[in-house]
A and B are shown apart, each in its own frame.
Chain A
Amino acid sequence: MSSNPSKPHGLLAEFHTAADIFEAAIRCRDAGFTKWDVHTPFPIHGMDEAMGLRKSPVGWFTFCGGFTGFFTGMTMIWYMNKFDYPLVVGGKPLFTPLFAFPVSYEMTILLSAFGTLFGMFFLNRLPKFHNPLFKNERFKKSTDDRFFICIESADPKFGLEATRAFLTEKCHAAVVELVED
């Protein structure tokens, strides 16, 4: 997003079908834009490749969460039942990973889930309540049945007239509008 308030945020192009936006996304990718995005009411199959996105790294956050969870579970049980206050029950060992497993397993899943959720929020920079796109009335349809491409003015290849022509003529957008920052 541009920090200069006099500059526009970008150009917003509206499409009516999944196929139209899919073709348009391929053209935008091939035209070499970098600061642009596709907004759709549901994820379109194959759109990541059409946009040329890399694979989502959310899994790493899941892994870190899960690793922490398992390790925390095992350490906690060892510390509580063997180290800090040795608790003899039925003459069984004070600690083995066997009886510690169910709790550690649940902790693995719990922290993996938190890792996944917050990792996704972090990668998507959510929550983000201010967005210039929200000022556009048409854009409200992006969560209903319309499809949008927004090319930001911060993109090095952005030129107001050239990009507008590109979206209308090459991408066959139904409507192209300027979005103020």
Chain B
Amino acid sequence: MASPGKSAAVKAPEPPAELVREPLVLNNRPLGWITDAIAGVCEKPMPVWWWPAFIISVGGMITMFSLIAYLVSTGVGVWGLNQPADWAWDITNFVFWIGIGHAGTLISAVLFLLRQKWRTSVNRAAEAMTIFAVACAGIFPVFHTGRVWFALLPGYLFPAPNANEIWPQFRSPLLWDVFAVSTYGTVSLLFWYVGLIPDLATLRDRAKGWLRRFFYGLFSLGWTGSNRHWSNYEKAYLLLAGLSTPLVLSVHSIVSFDFAVSVVPGWHTTIFPPYFVAGAIFSGFGMVLTLLIPLRSLFKLEDVITLRHVELMCKVLLATGSIVGYAYGMEFFIAWYGGSPYELYAFKNRAFGPYWWSYWAMISCNVISPHFFWFKKLRTSVVFVWIVSIFVNIGMWFERFVIIVTSLHRDYLPSSWGYFTPSWVDVMTFVGSFGLFMTLFLLFIRFLPVIAISEVKGVTPQADPHHPLGGAKGHH
């Protein structure tokens, strides 16, 4: 092997000025500044706004768990479900939350494999968002079963023989979903934790109190930044990214099978897997922007989560939003071209039936709003981006509502047509799930580094032994 010391003398051609990329960390911040800025967030006392935000979130979380207790003790009828709409807000919320998670995995895994170095500033918070969103998502399908003890304990969902010694039925996509979502939650958590280990060691080495030193020490597992460890660590991280990529694509595909494998008009369509995955990434990036735009300014992290990051995420919104818009159009085309009167009716009914308002809410939020991002001026206006990201979140919730409720409420038999109206328990359980999500996210800000410290350092020029800022002597 040639000595890298000698090869350092090889000159790399300097790119022309207009091709030089904007740095990922602005103002040439030194490595120590990065540590202080990011670790400082969870070391200093939280700013004043944190407490009211936390109290409101905990209130929402308590509301949700109280209403779930009410549901379990009374029956699933406390939600507005009826026949034929026996899936409504519950499964809408499930698909909504699980979709949000997908952006986190996309940023952490897919962009890692594609060597998109800008991901390092946003991946930690986005992965945290994934895990918390999956936690919120899991609640709805579990409790929509009503007598939840039958679903969980004797094993209709998980393979344990039930009272009649019958095993779960593996031909059902609902059971595939159980495996997909629980694998997704577990692997996301592992991936997140692996990424956290070096940063927990940083917090351990900076900790003042014994409590912090103990817990950060415990969870950083005795990490020393040894290069023999980094070598295995980086390979493990690469492999986890390689595993999470097919995983994230499979999860929302399998979620879409819950619908596509059935025979309900409006559901029974082959476009669902790619359409759901694109929608999931679209909604997830919406939520990442909703969370990170306030975070970067509240904690003065604009030098690490730069405008370039915001802009790149807007481009992802534009791309995935266009795919979603295309899918809406293609669904309509196939409903007509396919020649099935039931299918065609389902789509006419979506746009002009009793739920027309939800359909047009979806169209205006998802099809129109991302197209503002063709303009650089709008992509770089953080307030505008933040507002659009909220619309994306709303629109993607409506998309799932449209798919689920408008398809179910009128299917083959007009005699069993109905109309779904949510009960107050439906509404407050969903609102409360935001409380759970925000509680977890605020605790994450309070105790863990919101940006991957070691990864951000790794993409600075100071980290490159062949760069003048990394201390390289001689010409570059």
Question: Is B a genuine binding partner of A?
Answer: yes
| A interface residue numbers (CB < 8 A to B) | 16-23, 25-26, 30, 37-53, 55-56, 58-59, 62, 76-77, 80-81, 84-85, 87, 89-90, 92, 99-100, 102-103, 105-107, 109-110, 112-114, 116-117, 119-121, 123-124, 126-131, 133-134, 139-145
CB < 8 Å neighbour of A50 from B4, B232, B236, B246:
B4
Pick from A51, A52, A89, A128: contact of B169, CB under 8 Å: A89
Q: Which of B167, B191, B201 contacts A143 (CB 8 A)?
A: B201
Contact B465 A59 (CB under 8 A): no
Instruction: For chain B, residues 351 to 405, give those with C-beta under 8 angstroms from any C-beta of chain A.
Output: none
- Residue from B233, B257, B457 in contact with A124 in the complex, judged by beta carbons closer than 8 Å: B233
CB atoms of B170 and A103 under 8 A apart: yes
Closest Cβ of chain B to A144, distance in Å, is 5
Closest to A80 in B: B167
Assess whether B236 is in contact with A117, with CB atoms less than 8 Å apart.
yes
A145 to B457, CA, bound (A): 9
Query: Are A123 and B232 in contact, with the CB atoms below 8 A?
Result: yes
Report the minimal beta-carbon distance from B35 to chain A, rounded to whole angstroms. Answer: 5
What CA separation (Å) do A85 and B164 show in the bound complex?
11
State whether A47 touches B171 (Cβ < 8 A). no
B134 to chain A, nearest CB (A): 14
A142 surroundings in chain B (CB, below 8 A): 205, 224-225
Determine how close the nearest CB of chain B comes to the CB of A10; give it in whole angstroms: 13
Also in contact, A40 and B227, with CB within 8 A (given A58-B239, A113-B190): yes
A23 to chain B, nearest CB (A): 6
A43 touching B171, Cβ below 8 Å: no
Contact B463 A143 (CB under 8 A): no
Q: A19 to B473, Cβ gap below 8 A?
A: yes
Binds A, one of B87-95, B122-130, B179-187, B314-322: B179-187
Report which of A43, A59, A85 forms a contact with B458, defined as CB distance below 8 A.
Answer: A43
Band of interface residues on B: 35 or more
Taking the complex as formed, is B247 at the interface, i.e. its CB lies under 8 A from any CB of chain A? yes
Supply 12 further A-B pairs (C-beta < 8 A) apart from A58-B232, A117-B194.
A19-B466, A37-B228, A49-B4, A59-B235, A81-B171, A87-B166, A106-B176, A107-B183, A140-B205, A143-B198, A143-B204, A143-B454
**8 A-B interface contacts by CB (under 8 A):** A18-B464, A43-B234, A58-B235, A81-B171, A85-B165, A87-B167, A113-B190, A116-B240
**B225 touching A110, Cβ below 8 Å:** no
Stretch at the interface among B63-71, B138-146, B215-223, B424-432: B215-223
- Nearest A residue to B223 via CB reads A126
B229 within 8 A of A: yes
Which of A92, A102, A113 has most chain B Cβ within 10 Å? A113
CA distance A159 to B326 in the complex (A): 70
Of B191, B228, B455, the most chain A CB neighbours within 10 A belong to B228
Tell me whether A103 and B175 are in contact (CB under 8 A).
yes
Q: Give Cα A43 to B229, complex, Å.
A: 9
Cβ of A21: which chain B residues have Cβ within 8 Å of it?
465
How far apart are A99's CB and chain B's nearest CB, in angstroms? Answer: 5
Cα–Cα, bound, A12→B302 (Å): 36
Minimum CB distance partner of A15 in chain B: B471
Query: Quick one: CB contact mask for B154-172 with A, threshold 8 Å, 1 for yes?
Result: 0000010000011111110
Residues of A close to B464: CB separation below 8 A: 18, 45
Cα distance A46–B464 in the bound complex, in angstroms: 9
Q: Is the CB of A113 within 8 A of B186?
A: yes
Q: In the docked arrangement, what's the CA distance between A116 and B169, Å?
A: 30
Asked if B254 contacts A26 (CB within 8 A), the reply is no
Our pick among A37, A56, A99, A119 for the contact of B170 (Cβ within 8 Å) is A99
Residues on A with beta carbons closer than 8 Å to the beta carbon of B32: 144-145
CA distance A79 to B36 in the complex (A): 56
Tell whether A56 pairs with B232 under 8 Å between CB atoms, given A18-B471, A80-B167: yes
**B31 contacts partner chain A, Cβ-Cβ < 8 Å:** yes
CB pair A89–B171 under 8 Å, yes or no, is yes
**Chain A positions within 8 Å of B202 at CB level:** 41, 143-144
Residue of B nearest to A39 (CB): B225
A38 vs B226: C-alpha distance when bound (angstroms): 6
B4–A39 CB distance below 8 A: no
Whether the pair B167, A84 counts as a contact (CB closer than 8 A) is: yes
B residues 419-476 near A (Cβ < 8 Å) are: 453-455, 457-458, 462-466, 470-473
Residues of chain B contacted by A46 (CB below 8 angstroms): 4, 465
Asked if B415 is at the interface of the complex by the 8 Å CB criterion, the answer is no
Q: Specify which of A19, A127, A144 is in contact with B470 (CB 8 Å cutoff).
A: A19
B273-299 to A contact mask, C-beta < 8 Å, 1/0: 000000000000000000000000000
Nearest-CB distance from B225 to chain A (Å)? 4
Residue in chain A with minimal CB distance to B251: A106
Residue B412 lies at the interface, judged by CB distance under 8 Å to chain A? no
What's the least CB distance linking A120 to chain B, in Å?
4
A39 contacts B224, CB within 8 Å? Answer: yes
Interface string of B101-142 (1 = CB under 8 A from A): 000000000000000000000000000000000000000000
Between B5, B166, B202, B455, the greatest number of chain A beta carbons within 10 A of the residue's beta carbon is seen for B5
Q: Is B230 engaged at the interface, CB distance under 8 Å to the other chain?
A: yes
Q: Min CB distance, B268 to chain A, in Å?
A: 16
Minimum distance in angstroms from B219 CB to a CB of chain A: 9
Q: Which residues of B contact A120 (CB under 8 A)?
A: 194, 232-233, 235-236
* Whole-angstrom CA separation of A119 from B227 in the bound complex: 17
Do residues B231 and A143 form an inter-chain contact, with CB atoms below 8 A?
no
Docked complex Cα distance between A51 and B225 (Å):
15
Contact of A59 among B4, B167, B176, B239 (CB under 8 A): B239
Q: Is the CB of B223 within 8 A of A45?
A: no
CB distance from B227 to the nearest CB of A (A): 4
Are A117 and B167 in contact (CB-based, < 8 A)? no
Q: Which residues of B contact A144 (CB under 8 A)?
A: 31-32, 35, 202, 205-206
Q: For window 238-280 of chain B, which residues contact chain A by CB distance below 8 Å?
A: 239-240, 243, 246-247, 250, 254, 257
Q: Which residues of A contact B236 (CB under 8 A)?
A: 56, 58, 116-117, 119-120
